[in-house]
Amino acid sequence: MVKVALLRVEDYDYQKVEDAIRRGLALLDIGEDFFRGKEVLLKPNLLAPAPVEKPVCSHPSVVRGMARVAQEGGGKVGVGDSPGLGSVQRVARACGLTPLLQELGVPLLSFEDKVEKKFPEGGICKAFPLTSLLEEKEVLVNLARLKTHNLTRYTGAVKNLYGCIPGHQKGAYHLRFNQVENFHKMLGDLLGLVRPPLSLVDGIVSMEGPGPRRGNPRSTGFLVMSRDAVAADVMACRLVGINPEEVLHLKHAGEMEFGVTKYQEIELVGDPEEELRVQGFQQSQGSGAPTGIIPPFLANLMRDLFIFLPRVIPDQCKACGVCVESCPAEVITMDKEVARIDTKNCIRCYCCQELCPHEAIVLERSFTLKGILKRR
Ligand code: SF4
Ligand code: SF4
C-alpha cells in the first residue's frame, strides 16, 4: 500500500498552506530527517510568464510553504525549473514568486546544464538529458499544479517532471515521440528515472478547460501529497472527475511498476475523498481524447478523424515568432507578418498554442474525410 494524503485547503493564505504541508508530511510519516542537512531542490511548475491569478504555474504560496518547511527541517533549499517560454527569472517575477524566495534567502535556479542519463529499464525511452542539478541535490520535491492539458489530458506530478529536461531538448522529445501514446510512455519512463521522493499536487485553485495555459481557474480546495507521484496523480484526477485510466502516462508508469495506479493499493490519509470531490470540472480539448481503451491502429485513425489541429487567428497574431521557435516539427513560418502552419506536417503537440503569448492560436477539430484529405 502507498499512502496519499488528501488535505482540504480553501485558499492560498500563507499560514494555511504551510500548516497543510506540515500536516501532509506528518500523515505520510515523513520526519525531520527527510530534509535535515540535505541539499533540497524544489521543482515547481514554472511553465510560462503569467500573473498569479492565472493557474499556469505553481502558486507562489505553495512553493514558499514547502521552502519554509524544508528550511525549518534543516534543509538547504533551492528552487528550479526549465520553463517552456521565457527564463526562469522572468516566469518567477511574473507570478510573484521572486520576492517570496528573496525573503527566505532561497536561490532561483535555471535548469540549463544537462547530463545524459541512461535508463535501460525504460519501456520506450532508454536515456534522457536531465538537468545536472538533479545530480547535485540530494532531495527532489516535486511541486505540481493540477491542470488540464490539451495533449496529455491532465498534468500533475508525473508530467511536471518534463521540466527536468532542459530548454529546447523538450521540443526534440515532442518530435521524437510524436505519437501521443508514445509521448505518454516517454513521460512514464521519465518518472521511472527521476523518482522524486515527495510529490505534491496543488489543487487549491486548478486549471480546467483548454489547459495547460489557456484554461480557466477553478477553485477546487485541496492539496494532494505522496511519496508516489503516480498515486498522487491518480487521486488528484479522481477528485476532479478525470478518469486516471485515460491518462496514459499514469497507465504506462503503473504497468512499468514505477508507481501505483490501482485504487485498492492506495491508502488514503487526511480528509475524506468524498468531501473533496469536485463536480462539473471542465475537461481539456485535443489529443486528450480517451485513446487508452482502444487499440493503437484505431486510436491513430480516431486521431485523424476527431483530433484538433492548430490554426492561427490572423487578426490576433502579433508576429512575435514564439510559435516558430517553439515548434519542434519546424512547420510554422512567418508569412506577411502572420504565422502560418503547415498542418500537413504538424505532429499535433500543441506547443504553439500552449506558448503563443497573444492567444492567437486555436485548436480546431478535424473530423471530416475532407479535413483528412486536406491534410494529406
Ligand atoms: S506566437 Fe502567436 S502571436 Fe506570436 S507569431 Fe505565433 S501566432 Fe503570432
Ligand atoms: S504547428 Fe504547433 S502543434 Fe503542430 S507541430 Fe508545430 S508546435 Fe506542434
Which residue has the CA at smallest separation from atom 4 of ligand 2?
346
- Show the domain range for 364: 307-375
- The secondary element (H helix, E strand) that includes residue 352 is helix 351-355
**Whether the CB of 168 sits within 6 Å of ligand 1:** no
Q: What's the whole-number mean pLDDT along residues 150-171?
A: 94
For residue 297, name the pLDDT band (cuts at 50, 70, 90): low
For residue 336, name the pLDDT band (cuts at 50, 70, 90): confident
CA 236–ligand 1 middle distance (angstroms)? 33
- The secondary element (H helix, E strand) that includes residue 374 is helix 369-375
CA 356–ligand 2 middle distance (angstroms)? 11
Pocket residue to mutate for ligand 1, from 214, 311, 316, 318, most atoms within 8 A of Cβ: 318
Residue 340 pairs with which residues in a beta bridge? 333
For 355, the grid coordinates are 506558448
pLDDT at 284: 87
pLDDT exceeds 50 at position 146: yes
The answer as to whether 294 is a domain residue is no
For residue 374, name the pLDDT band (cuts at 50, 70, 90): very low
For 362, the grid coordinates are 486555436
* 214 alpha carbon, closest ligand: 1
Percent of the chain with pLDDT over 90: 82
Which residue has the CA at smallest separation from atom 7 of ligand 2?
327
pLDDT at 375: 42
* 180 alpha carbon, closest ligand: 2
pLDDT exceeds 80 at position 302: no
pLDDT at 303: 58
**CA gap 66, 70 in Å, rounded:** 6
* 330 alpha carbon, closest ligand: 2
**CA gap 47, 57 in Å, rounded:** 6
**Pairing outcome for strands 216-226 and 198-208:** antiparallel
**Whether the CB of 310 sits within 6 Å of ligand 2:** yes
The number of distinct structural domains making up the chain is 2
**Whether the CB of 329 sits within 6 Å of ligand 2:** yes
Same domain, 355 and 281: no
Of ligand 1's atoms, which has the minimum distance to the CA of residue 316? 3
Count Cβ atoms below 10 Å from residue 214 Cβ, excluding itself: 22
For residue 370, name the pLDDT band (cuts at 50, 70, 90): very low
- The predicted-structure confidence for 339-354, as pLDDT tens digits, reads as follows 999 998 998 899 999 9
* 350 alpha carbon, closest ligand: 2
pLDDT at 376: 37
Q: What's the whole-number mean pLDDT along residues 198-206?
A: 98
* 361 alpha carbon, closest ligand: 1
The answer as to whether 132 is a domain residue is yes
Q: What's the whole-number mean pLDDT along residues 104-111?
A: 98
The answer as to whether 296 is a domain residue is no
Helices and strands in the chain, H and E counts = 15, 15
Same domain, 193 and 231: yes
**Whether the CB of 374 sits within 6 Å of ligand 1:** no
The answer as to whether 300 is a domain residue is no
For residue 364, name the pLDDT band (cuts at 50, 70, 90): confident
pLDDT exceeds 50 at position 309: yes
The answer as to whether 240 is a domain residue is yes
Same domain, 250 and 355: no
CATH of the domain at 317: 3.30.70.20
pLDDT at 301: 63
The answer as to whether 73 is a domain residue is yes
pLDDT at 285: 74
pLDDT exceeds 90 at position 318: yes
Same domain, 208 and 341: no
Of ligand 2's atoms, which has the minimum distance to the CA of residue 329? 5
Same domain, 188 and 134: yes
Q: Is 188 in contact with 253 (CB distance < 8 Å)? A: yes
**Whether the CB of 323 sits within 6 Å of ligand 1:** yes
Residue 81 pairs with which residues in a beta bridge? 110
CATH of the domain at 226: 3.40.50.11440
Q: What's the whole-number mean pLDDT along residues 286-314?
A: 66
Same domain, 239 and 367: no
For residue 367, name the pLDDT band (cuts at 50, 70, 90): low
Same domain, 168 and 312: no
Same domain, 342 and 273: no
For residue 183, name the pLDDT band (cuts at 50, 70, 90): very high
Three-state SS for 249-298 is: HHHHHHHCCCCCCCHHHEEEEECCHHHHCCCCCCCCCHHHCCCCCCCHHH
Which residue has the CA at smallest separation from atom 6 of ligand 2?
327
Of 286, 315, 339, the position where a domain reaches its end is 286
Q: What's the whole-number mean pLDDT along residues 176-195?
A: 96
**CA gap 2, 5 in Å, rounded:** 10
**Whether the CB of 317 sits within 6 Å of ligand 1:** yes
Same domain, 277 and 318: no
Q: What's the whole-number mean pLDDT along residues 88-109?
A: 98
Pocket residue to mutate for ligand 2, from 287, 307, 311, 348, most atoms within 8 A of Cβ: 348
**Whether the CB of 360 sits within 6 Å of ligand 1:** yes
